[in-house]
Amino acid sequence: MKTSSQRTVWREGREGSDELAEEVPVAFEYNGISHAVMLATPADLEDFAVGFSLSEGIVAGRGDIFGIEVAEAANGITLQIEIAGGDFMRLKERRRSLAGRTGCGLCGTESLTQVLRDIAPLPGRTEFPVEALYAGMAALPARQALQQATGAAHAACRVTRDGCVGLVREDVGRHNALDKTLGAIVREGIDASVDALIITSRASLEMVQKAAALRIGTLAAVSAPTAAAVRQAQQLNLALYGFLRGERCVAYTEPLRAEAAA
């Protein structure tokens, strides 16, 4: 499916054209059972399937995903994901419906106990160089093809300690973009535990949980984090940055990291 399409528009009374980002319903189906429907950009769907499955704790590891089929239909796309029997049994026990809006995050959660997931804190680690975040943020816009064409897409990417950007994924939903990048990291077999993630959005509690679930210890957002995200990052020993713009940012966890970002 196309990720964007042209539409006739009128600017100040003059007819022209505009490129619009596509969003379609994407259904996640595990072992033949429907689990969630998200509105998303129809690209990098295998990455989306892997990233969502792992970051949501549906499977314990990449090896528990046995197969992914992308089934297109007139009314949307179904990701048919085959997972290990033990994971599927746990999924049925805590099954929730996420018929949601674009990158809805926690909408549809059935109980308060499902919001704060049981994620082990990250181990102590070497501070991520803030200069690498600046370099990554400077390089990212040139890699955002859909955003440049439409102005309607979020992005997430991996940044290494020397400031190199890779595995840029875009989506109309910020959670979706992050899941796609996380899935790409796993599918490439990359150990990203010493790397960082940059997201072109605010940082919510669930985005902190997604990064920590895949054992990535640094998350930097272009906009602000929420208070809940900061509290969760502190509890999970994750370095959280916001307002990453130019060569400035705000550090929200750990004094040493805050001094490095000043």
Domain boundaries, the chain: 24-114, 130-261
Asked if residues 182 and 210 have their Cβ atoms less than 8 Å apart, the reply is yes
Alpha-carbon separation of residue 207 from 52, 86, 103, 116, 179 (angstroms): 11, 26, 11, 12, 9
Asked if residues 65 and 86 have their Cβ atoms less than 8 Å apart, the reply is no
Q: 24-114 belongs to which CATH class?
A: alpha beta
Asked if residues 181 and 207 have their Cβ atoms less than 8 Å apart, the reply is no
Domain 130-261 homologous superfamily, CATH: Cytidine Deaminase, domain 2 (3.40.140.10)
Query: What is the token pair recorded at 130?
Result: 């803030």
Pick from 29, 95, 86, 38: nearest CA to 59: 86
164 is catalytic: no
Q: Of all helices (H) and strands (E), which one includes residue 258?
A: helix 255-261
How would you write the pLDDT of the chain (262 residues) with one tens digit per residue? 899 999 999 999 999 999 999 999 999 999 999 999 999 999 999 999 999 999 999 999 999 999 999 999 999 999 999 999 999 999 988 765 444 444 555 444 454 455 678 899 999 766 899 999 999 999 999 999 999 999 999 999 999 999 999 999 999 999 999 999 999 999 999 999 999 999 999 999 999 999 999 999 999 999 999 999 999 999 999 999 999 999 999 999 975 444 444 4
**How many helices (H) and strands (E) would you count in the chain?**
8, 12
| Model pLDDT, residue 114 | 56
Catalytically annotated residue among 104, 107, 157, 249 = 104
Residue with tokens 């997201």: 199
Phi, psi of 153 (to 5 degrees): -125, 140
Fold agreement (24-114, 130-261): no
- Residue type at 61 in one-letter notation: G
| Model pLDDT, residue 93 | 81
* 3-state SS track over 114-173: HCCCCCCCCCCCCCCCHHHHHHHHHHCHHHCHHHHHHCCCEEEEEECCCCCEEEEEEECC
pTM score above 0.75 = yes
3-class state of residue 230 by DSSP:
helix
| Model pLDDT, residue 126 | 66
